[in-house]
Amino acid sequence: MGGSKTYPYGSTSAVRAHVLAALGVLKVATADQMHRLMAPGHKDNKAFRNAALDLARHGLVVSEGSARDGNKIWNLTPLGLDAAAGVLGRAAGEMGGTARGAARSGAAHAMAVNETVIAITRTPAAATRPVPRQTPGVPDQSPARGDVPPPNPADGVPQMQGLGWIGSWSTEVPLSLPGSKAGRAGVRADAVLQAPEELPVLFVEVDNCTESAAILAAKFEKYLRYFRVKIKNSVGKDMPAWRALYRPSGRDGHPPILIVFNPGTRTGPQALKNRMNTVMELTRTAWSGDYHPDRGYGAQDKDGFYDYTDAIPLLFTTLDRLQADSPRGVVWWRCGHGQWETLPAALANPADHSAWHARDEQRRLRHKEAEEASRQEHAPRTPAWPPTPDPDPWPDETAPDPVPAPAPPCERCGLPVTGQDGQDDAVFDSPENGRHCATCRSDIRQYPTLRAALFGRRQRSK
């Protein structure tokens, strides 16, 4: 096998770390699934089989059964769970259990969850170069790094970009309600994706179409109760309990939930369509939101909006669609939208209050434009001939007298030459030249004698 005494199957530390990380997230998986999830650029899954065998010799992993396709299913031991926590950089309390005994029945549901994680993640295939075996006297015949051909898409390796990476996932996640018994979850999510660069959180449910639609729909009532639970934050205000573990989505409503239908060969296309419609009707109260009718500004017909504050964005897709296309394609069916969409379009709320406000603003602008056009249409037009002068404002009345010009100022004191207010102009009449006022004239007048100054000049009788 070309290995060492410690690892007789010749596995490398990198591939062993891949196996521990994959099993730490998926709980149970085949070597082929770990190969496609962690390193699809490898030629085959032989390196992962050898790594699992080497880890089993050290008591880190164990195989307790096989899948329906015959591949051996591996899961971690308690010792391997601690090792996987170190590889993933997670606390031991966040790792969950070891899924002991799940492989004995084939783990059909767990295998479908693994395929969903692989189809959504789509780890990029990196070209690899085999490690040359050093044999004395034999030259190295391995190709150079630049001579390694890129992986062929026809080989079954996903080439389209996915969402997140192995560290973005958690499976079999218990969502406990406050006051519930220890270890008893209100609802258990099949998988949870946290990819901050794409979307903060996405809860995933995988349906193998083996249970009734009513049982599947009843699970969303538990989700709704969990999302409605409030706790106190650091400043004493109420906040949703799920916000203590996951980042907010930035949209109205609760975090989105995805149902991946995996009909396999048991359910035909029409039966699958009927099942999806049944689940959508049974969960309508969880995803529809509350409708608020409002005519809006100048609206003739009713134009309301939906309040999604207490609604769950419920998405549908099938495993075949995810595997054939990619999570970035038109593979998402949002309940209430009525069509297949991309993920951003499916998560949007085109009928919420923001969209209604935008429509109302458009109606307001159109109303103003119509009023302006009507005003211009009925405005008086400017005549082509010159305008006639305005008529006399006082046709039957006497026009007011013009304001007299002010009297010239006195050269000596600057007062009017007609005298100060209240003085009699008949006594102090202005001189012929009009240069001084009456006061200044009396001051500058020269009397010849004291008698003349006191009594004035007396006219002599003839």
Higher per-residue confidence, 382 vs 164: 164
Distance CA(179)–CA(193), nearest Å, equals 26
Q: What is the mean pLDDT of residues 83-95?
A: 92
What does the mean pLDDT of the chain come to?
A: 81
Specify the pLDDT at position 396.
Answer: 58
Do β-strands 314-318 and 257-261 pair in parallel, antiparallel, or remain unpaired? parallel
CA distances from 457 to 181, 217, 439, 451, 460 (A): 134, 133, 19, 8, 9
3-state helix vs strand vs coil in the chain, percent to 5: 35, 15, 50
Q: How confident is the model at residue 290 (pLDDT cuts 50, 70, 90)?
A: confident
Specify the pLDDT at position 2.
Answer: 64
Specify the pLDDT at position 156.
Answer: 47
Specify the pLDDT at position 197.
Answer: 81
Q: How confident is the model at residue 439 (pLDDT cuts 50, 70, 90)?
A: confident
Distance CA(5)–CA(360), nearest Å, equals 75
| H-helix or E-strand spanning residue 74 | strand 72-76
Encode burial over 227-240: b for 16+ CB neighbours within 10 A, e otherwise.
beeeeeeeeeeeeb
Q: How confident is the model at residue 127 (pLDDT cuts 50, 70, 90)?
A: low
Distance CA(42)–CA(32), nearest Å, equals 11
Higher per-residue confidence, 274 vs 420: 274
Domain boundaries, the chain: 1-91, 107-124+159-376, 407-451
Asked if the model's pLDDT at residue 278 lies above 80, the reply is: yes
Distance CA(208)–CA(222), nearest Å, equals 20
Q: What is the mean pLDDT of residues 11-18?
A: 96
Q: How confident is the model at residue 365 (pLDDT cuts 50, 70, 90)?
A: confident
Encode burial over 260-273: b for 16+ CB neighbours within 10 A, e otherwise.
bbbbeeebeeeebe
Asked if the model's pLDDT at residue 241 lies above 80, the reply is: yes
Q: What is the mean pLDDT of residues 388-399?
A: 60
Angle in degrees, CA 17, 22, 27, rounded to 5 = 130
Are 150 and 127 in contact by the 8 Å Cβ rule? The answer is yes
Least confident window among 87-96, 299-308, 382-391, 420-429: 420-429
Which residue in 129, 169, 145 sits closest to 37, CA to CA? 169
Angle in degrees, CA 227, 231, 237, rounded to 5 = 120
Using DSSP, state whether 278 is helix, strand or coil.
helix
Write the pLDDT tens digit of every residue in 245-270: 999 888 878 999 999 999 988 889 99
The phi and psi torsions of 317 (rounded to 5 degrees) equal -160, 175
Supply 184's token pair: 């008893």
| H-helix or E-strand spanning residue 420 | none
Specify the pLDDT at position 108.
Answer: 93
Determine what percent of the chain is predicted with pLDDT higher than 70. Answer: 71
Count of all residues that appear for the chain in the document:
462
Asked if the model's pLDDT at residue 405 lies above 80, the reply is: no
Specify the pLDDT at position 8.
Answer: 94
Higher per-residue confidence, 117 vs 250: 117
Are 121 and 162 in contact by the 8 Å Cβ rule? The answer is yes
Distance CA(259)–CA(276), nearest Å, equals 10
Q: How confident is the model at residue 285 (pLDDT cuts 50, 70, 90)?
A: very high
Specify the pLDDT at position 399.
Answer: 58
Asked if the model's pLDDT at residue 434 lies above 90, the reply is: no
Write the pLDDT tens digit of every residue in 192-212: 999 988 889 999 999 999 999
Distance CA(129)–CA(145), nearest Å, equals 6
Asked if the model's pLDDT at residue 157 lies above 60, the reply is: no
Q: What is the mean pLDDT of residues 97-102?
A: 83
Specify the pLDDT at position 224.
Answer: 94
Is CATH 1.20.1560.10 the classification given to domain 1-91?
no
Q: What is the mean pLDDT of residues 4-23?
A: 95
The residues that bridge with 239 in the sheet, in sequence order, are 231
Distance CA(384)–CA(405), nearest Å, equals 43
- Which amino acid is present at 413? C
Determine what percent of the chain is predicted with pLDDT higher than 90. Answer: 48
Q: How is 147-199 classified by DSSP, letter by letter?
A: GSPPPPGGGT---S--S--GGGEEEEEEEPPTTPPTT--SEEEEEEEEETTTE
- Which amino acid is present at 263? P
Write the pLDDT tens digit of every residue in 30-69: 999 999 999 999 999 999 999 999 999 999 999 989 998 8
